[in-house]
Amino acid sequence: MGKLVKLLWHTIKRRGEDIGLPFLILGCLCILLQFVLVLTGLRAETSLLGVAFGLISVGLGFTAIGMGTKSDKRHTDLLERLDKNVARLPLLLKDDMLTPSGQLLAKEILGEQSKSAAQKRLDEDTKKVGYVRGEIYEVENGRWAIHWGGKYPL
């Protein structure tokens, strides 16, 4: 019995938003039905209103559980990455100055960002004109640029 409850709880946490949406829709439909009954002059059903609010509450509860679980997972992943990178921080900084290994890492990161930005610009130009008009190359300071023309027609 305990394993079944754990499995059910895990399913609710993982799919809470998907489970809660039908309850919310049914609750809203019950309220809409109540309005139709009142507008047509029939007797107002308080039990129908109670059922509607109950369904909406259950739907909001499942949705909150699902959203909370997804948010918790995202924050846990972020904190794990931060914790892993903070462990490397003393190797990269000493007295608010970059160590030689920190300088190499910073230069490498800037080069990768520059290369991806140049490649993105070249890809966008290729999409725009329909053919390749240049190639990326590394500039002496570790940055990347585009050489237009050459073996490629402009």
| Host domain of residue 144 | 100-148
- State how far Cα 67 lies from the chain centre: 12
In 3-state terms, what secondary structure has residue 29?
helix
The Cα–Cα gap between 132 and 25 comes to: 52
Q: Give the orientation angle of helix 46-92 with respect to helix 16-39, to 10 degrees.
A: 150
Task: State what percent of residues in the chain have pLDDT above 70.
Answer: 84
- Higher-pLDDT residue of 135 and 99 is 135
pLDDT tens string 4-26: 888 888 888 888 889 999 999 99
Whether 18 is covered by a domain: the verdict is yes
Residues 88 and 50 in one domain: yes
Give the pLDDT confidence score for residue 31 in this predicted structure. Answer: 92
Whether 126 is covered by a domain: the verdict is yes
The Cα–Cα gap between 61 and 34 comes to: 23
Give the pLDDT confidence score for residue 135 in this predicted structure. Answer: 86
Residues 111 and 143 in one domain: yes
Provide the domain count of the chain: 2
Highest-confidence range of 27-31, 98-102, 119-123, 143-147, by mean pLDDT?
Answer: 27-31
In 3-state terms, what secondary structure has residue 19?
helix
Residues 7 and 72 in one domain: yes
* Residue 33 predicted with pLDDT over 70: yes
Q: Give the count of beta carbons closer than 10 Å to the beta carbon of residue 61.
A: 15
Residues 72 and 53 in one domain: yes
Residues 137 and 79 in one domain: no
Residues 104 and 90 in one domain: no
Q: Which of 120, 114, 123, 124 is nearest to 145 (CA)?
A: 114
Give the pLDDT confidence score for residue 154 in this predicted structure. Answer: 62
Whether 154 is covered by a domain: the verdict is no
Residues 85 and 16 in one domain: yes
| CB distance 135 to 152 below 8 Å | yes
pLDDT tens string 80-110: 888 877 776 666 666 667 677 776 776 667 6
Q: pTM for the full model?
A: 0.52
Whether 153 is covered by a domain: the verdict is no
Residues 6+ apart with CB under 8 A from 145: 118, 136, 137, 139
Residues 35 and 69 in one domain: yes
Instruction: Using the 3D structure, point to which of 52, 67, 94 is the last residue of a domain.
Output: 94
